[in-house]
């Protein structure tokens, strides 16, 4: 496949950065209060998930009772629940390479219709009976010449060669990215495809499915002993070794190399910044990675790493091995678990290769001869090419659009009884699959008044509260001076742009009290801001206005640049959260905090937000009883356009979420295309007309 030069250079640059990243490079800054709260929140959450990983397993009976459910959860977090259909593989050998001591068949199969897997099958000469077979999974090792991709399988040919020359069948498979047909691993890392989270998609799921189907293909070959399957690979291939061994018990022995570490390394130390999305599940059930590794038990497992690997640090690998060893001990199978630490960086060396060869000799052949033969590359990229011309029906490049099925629009219920059943299911599944990262024990709000200032007949008060124990946020309560008790409270949720605008107006009038905000935010008061601008906020019958910026905005903004903000968002993802889902949590807690302000304990509470923040507000409104009315301005009609919530599109879409809010409160939707909102409009009659819709024109609602 011809590669654009710019793409090839970008790809090479990304891989180089990944290979040399250090913990210091990946550490988040601690310059501002927002920075420090973010770092502490990540630390606490990562340690919480680590401490509860496998904590419920105290005995072998506990493990056996939970193992199948763990495997089911892992399948779901890879987008493989339910599994895709096992259709015709349409396996095709396109050419062969004959050597004196082994043969290579260049082949492809379709793991799903149009999803091609290119591979090289290494066969020993003169096989008299079915042989032990190793599935070798390639890491990120692009081989590109004159704009043609030969697949990363070429980079790992020396492994296939060694196995075939030593009596094994070995299938070396290309990955979705960097194969002969180019797919994508960097959706959130580089391409801003945050909807992958909402779809519940990770390329790790495609890699796992391709591995399962590779075993299906190998099982059709007469040269293969299906009772002696092994799996190995390094880096990305190490990760895929974990997926296939955890999911498929046809793998009898496995040796992942530099393919796993723990959440502490990824989230706290920041090694997530050195990895593309294929290394991670959609962490719905909030696992640490020892839980994946434990699913191999009690089968032979060799964990292999180096002592100076910057993206799979030694301390995390050792912690993971220690936790997995406990599960092997419960099985009385400690000798089936090994740990090899070789010297050096993230690199494929003999120090790593030889222990793997010995492991498979021991556990697939029952022998342990001296390893005298080195693994060497003997073939050219051209000899290992599968396709002369790429197939026109290949879906690899855009498989992320279809691999995980979306839920679709549910039928409009016929009556209120049917609606209550449907809404109960949607709310329960959305909470389980998209909001599992919400704190189960958030702690008290600890509301505290920080300042009060009155100017020109207006009073501004600041109140701090705990959204969660590590995340302290601020409410800004604006009212006419002397107001004691409000009939209507408008809680306005601000995004970054709105914060700058509203803060500019408030700072004009109340600058003395907002010195802290000025110190930690690069906000300048607009020349047109004035007392009149602030007074306009009281148009209509609003008596009290409360301004609120969720985490990462306003007083609690982070000092990271746009590139690092991507990595902040990916850290949330690894913790089974998203930035937006946690902002929805902040909004929910802000509503509760408003009700603790003495003058705001009664009166109608309206929650107002626009754009992506309107969807976050709607999410809060679904689960927060303090809200009486939602005013939602110009939200997107689909999670595919943002904001992102884990697995949301596997359950519902934005119109259904907003409809769920009508059960608790009145909802007014101001949008550009009312016709896009048929579902809530049709359901409104079942909910006593608690939903209204109006058209927005040129930024104004009619």
Bond preceding residue 80 cis, omega within 30 of 0: no
For the chain, the structural domain boundaries read 53-401, 446-701
Lowest-confidence pick of 21-30, 520-529, 572-581: 520-529
pLDDT above 60: residue 489: yes
**pLDDT the model gives residue 10:** 37
Return the beta strands (E) in 532-588 as ranges: 544-548
**pLDDT the model gives residue 505:** 84
pLDDT above 90: residue 637: yes
Domain 53-401 has CATH 3.40.50.1820: yes
**Measured CA angle at 54 (ends 269, 322), to 5 deg:** 60
HSE value, Cβ hemisphere, 13 Å, CA-based, for 146: 2
In tens, the pLDDT along 659-686 reads: 999 999 999 999 988 778 999 999 988 8
Highest mean pLDDT among 359-373, 499-513, 529-543: 359-373
Q: What pLDDT band is residue 147 in, cutting at 50, 70 and 90?
A: confident
pLDDT above 80: residue 70: yes
pLDDT above 60: residue 631: yes
**Measured CA angle at 92 (ends 87, 93), to 5 deg:** 150
User: Taking a C-beta distance cutoff of 8 angstroms, is the pair 519, 555 a contact?
Assistant: no
pLDDT above 50: residue 702: no
Q: Do domains 53-401 and 446-701 have the same CATH topology?
A: yes
pLDDT mean over 482-508: 88
Please state, in angstroms and rounded to a whole number, the distance separating the CA atoms of residues 506 and 242. Answer: 54
pLDDT above 90: residue 450: yes
pLDDT above 90: residue 419: yes
**pLDDT the model gives residue 508:** 84
pLDDT mean over 456-462: 92
pLDDT mean over 397-409: 96
pLDDT mean over 649-667: 95
pLDDT above 70: residue 6: no
Please state, in angstroms and rounded to a whole number, the distance separating the CA atoms of residues 693 and 681. Answer: 8
**pLDDT the model gives residue 500:** 87
User: Between helices 203-218 and 236-247, what is the axis angle to 10°?
Assistant: 60
Return the higher-pLDDT residue of 13 and 208. 208
Percentage, residues of the chain above pLDDT 90:
83
CA distances from 352 to 136, 152, 230, 259, 317 (A): 15, 19, 17, 13, 15
Judge residue 370's burial from the number of C-beta atoms within 10 Å of its C-beta, 0-12 exposed, 13-18 middle, 19 or more buried: exposed
pLDDT mean over 8-18: 37
**pLDDT the model gives residue 487:** 87
pLDDT above 90: residue 324: yes
Return the higher-pLDDT residue of 79 and 527. 79
Q: What pLDDT band is residue 160 in, cutting at 50, 70 and 90?
A: very high
**pLDDT the model gives residue 506:** 87
What is the architecture of the domain spanning 446-701? Answer: 3-Layer(aba) Sandwich (3.40)
- At 330 the three-state DSSP class reads helix
- At 293 the three-state DSSP class reads helix
pLDDT above 70: residue 542: no
Return the higher-pLDDT residue of 542 and 550. 550
User: Taking a C-beta distance cutoff of 8 angstroms, is the pair 142, 149 a contact?
Assistant: yes
Q: What pLDDT band is residue 429 in, cutting at 50, 70 and 90?
A: very high
Q: What pLDDT band is residue 8 in, cutting at 50, 70 and 90?
A: very low
pLDDT above 80: residue 11: no
pLDDT mean over 87-112: 98
Q: What pLDDT band is residue 529 in, cutting at 50, 70 and 90?
A: low
Nearest to 404 by CA among 109, 649, 110: 649
**pLDDT the model gives residue 181:** 96
**pLDDT the model gives residue 695:** 85
Looking at every residue in the chain, the average pLDDT score rounds to: 92
**pLDDT the model gives residue 528:** 46
Residue 38 DSSP one-character state: H
In tens, the pLDDT along 336-365 reads: 999 999 999 999 999 999 999 999 999 999
User: Between helices 236-247 and 60-77, what is the axis angle to 10°?
Assistant: 120
Return the higher-pLDDT residue of 119 and 504. 119
- At 178 the three-state DSSP class reads coil
- At 470 the three-state DSSP class reads coil
Return the higher-pLDDT residue of 274 and 525. 274
**pLDDT the model gives residue 530:** 60
Helix (H) or strand (E) holding 616: helix 612-623
pLDDT mean over 178-200: 97
pLDDT above 70: residue 223: yes
- At 113 the three-state DSSP class reads coil
**pLDDT the model gives residue 675:** 77
**Measured CA angle at 328 (ends 323, 333), to 5 deg:** 155
Please state, in angstroms and rounded to a whole number, the distance separating the CA atoms of residues 582 and 467. Answer: 9
Helix (H) or strand (E) holding 354: helix 350-360
Please state, in angstroms and rounded to a whole number, the distance separating the CA atoms of residues 523 and 231. Answer: 55
**pLDDT the model gives residue 200:** 98
pLDDT mean over 229-250: 98
Percentage, residues of the chain above pLDDT 70:
92
Q: What is the dihedral of CA 252, 258, 259, 263, to 10 degrees?
A: 120
């Amino acid at each position: 496949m011809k590669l654009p030069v710019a793409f090839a250079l970008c790809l090479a640059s990304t891989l180089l950065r990944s290979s040399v990243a250090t913990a210091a490079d990946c550490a988040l800054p601690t310059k501002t209060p927002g920075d420090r709260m973010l770092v502490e929140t990540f630390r606490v959450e990562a340690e919480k998930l680590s401490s509860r990983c496998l904590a419920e397993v105290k005995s072998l009976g506990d493990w056996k009772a939970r193992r199948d459910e763990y495997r089911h959860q892992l399948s779901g977090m890879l987008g493989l629940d339910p599994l895709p259909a096992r259709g015709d593989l349409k396996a095709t050998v396109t050419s062969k390479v004959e050597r004196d001591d082994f043969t290579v068949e260049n082949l492809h199969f379709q793991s799903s219709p149009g999803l091609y897997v290119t591979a090289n099958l290494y066969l020993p000469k003169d096989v008299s009976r079915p042989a032990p077979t190793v599935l070798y999974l390639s890491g990120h090792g692009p081989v590109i010449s004159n704009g043609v991709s030969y697949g990363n399988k070429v980079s790992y040919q020396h492994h296939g060669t060694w196995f075939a020359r030593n009596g094994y069948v070995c299938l070396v498979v290309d990955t979705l990215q960097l194969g002969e047909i180019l797919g994508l691993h960097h959706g959130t890392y580089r391409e801003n495809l945050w909807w992958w989270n909402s779809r519940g998609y990770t390329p790790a799921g495609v890699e796992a499915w391709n591995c399962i189907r590779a075993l299906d293909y190998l099982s059709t070959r007469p040269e293969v002993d299906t009772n002696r399957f092994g799996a190995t690979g390094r880096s990305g291939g190490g990760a895929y070794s974990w997926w296939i061994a955890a999911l498929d018990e046809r793998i009898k022995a496995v040796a992942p190399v530099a393919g796993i570490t723990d959440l502490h390394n990824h989230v706290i130390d920041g090694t997530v910044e050195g990895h593309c999305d294929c290394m991670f599940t959609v962490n719905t059930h909030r696992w640490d990675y020892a839980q994946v590794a434990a699913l191999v038990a009690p089968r032979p497992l060799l964990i292999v790493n180096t002592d100076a690997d910057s993206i799979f640090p030694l301390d995390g690998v050792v912690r993971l091995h220690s936790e997995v060893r406990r599960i092997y001990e419960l099985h009385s199978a400690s000798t089936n678990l090994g740990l090899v630490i070789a010297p050096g960086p993230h690199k494929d060396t003999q120090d790593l290769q030889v222990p793997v060869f010995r492991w498979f000799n021991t556990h697939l052949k029952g022998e342990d001869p001296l390893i005298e033969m080195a693994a060497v590359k003997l073939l050219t990229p051209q000899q290992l090419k599968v396709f002369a011309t790429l197939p026109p029906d290949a879906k690899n490049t855009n498989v992320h659009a279809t691999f995980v099925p979306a839920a679709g629009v549910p039928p409009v219920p016929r009556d209120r009884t049917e609606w209550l059943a449907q809404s109960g299911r949607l709310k329960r599944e959305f909470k389980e699959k998209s909001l599992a990262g919400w704190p189960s024990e958030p702690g008290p709000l600890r509301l505290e008044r920080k300042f009060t200032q009155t100017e020109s007949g207006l009073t501004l008060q600041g109140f701090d509260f705990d959204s969660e124990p590590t995340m302290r946020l601020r409410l800004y309560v604006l009212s006419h001076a002397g107001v004691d008790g409000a009939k209507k409270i408008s809680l306005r949720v601000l995004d970054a742009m709105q914060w700058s605008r509203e803060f500019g107006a408030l700072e004009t009038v109340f600058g003395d009290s907002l010195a802290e905000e000025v110190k930690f935010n690069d906000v300048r008061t607009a020349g047109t801001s004035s007392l009149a601008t602030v007074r306009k906020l009281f148009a209509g019958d609003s008596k009290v206005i409360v301004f609120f910026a969720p985490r990462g905005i306003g007083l609690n903004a982070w000092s990271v640049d746009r590139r690092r903000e991507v990595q902040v968002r990916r850290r949330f993802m690894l913790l089974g959260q998203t930035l937006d889902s946690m902002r929805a949590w902040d909004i929910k807690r802000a509503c509760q905090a408003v009700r603790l302000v003495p003058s705001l304990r009664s009166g109608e509470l309206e929650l107002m937000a626009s754009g992506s923040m309107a969807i976050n507000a709607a999410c809060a409104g679904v689960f927060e009883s303090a809200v009486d009315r939602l005013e939602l301005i110009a939200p997107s009609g689909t999670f595919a356009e943002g904001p992102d919530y884990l697995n949301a599109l596997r359950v519902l879409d934005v119109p259904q979420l907003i409809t769920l809010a009508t059960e608790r409160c009145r909802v007014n939707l101001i949008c550009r295309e009312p016709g896009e909102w048929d579902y809530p409009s049709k359901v409104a009659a079942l909910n006593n007309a608690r939903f209204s819709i109006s058209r927005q024109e040129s930024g104004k609602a009619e």
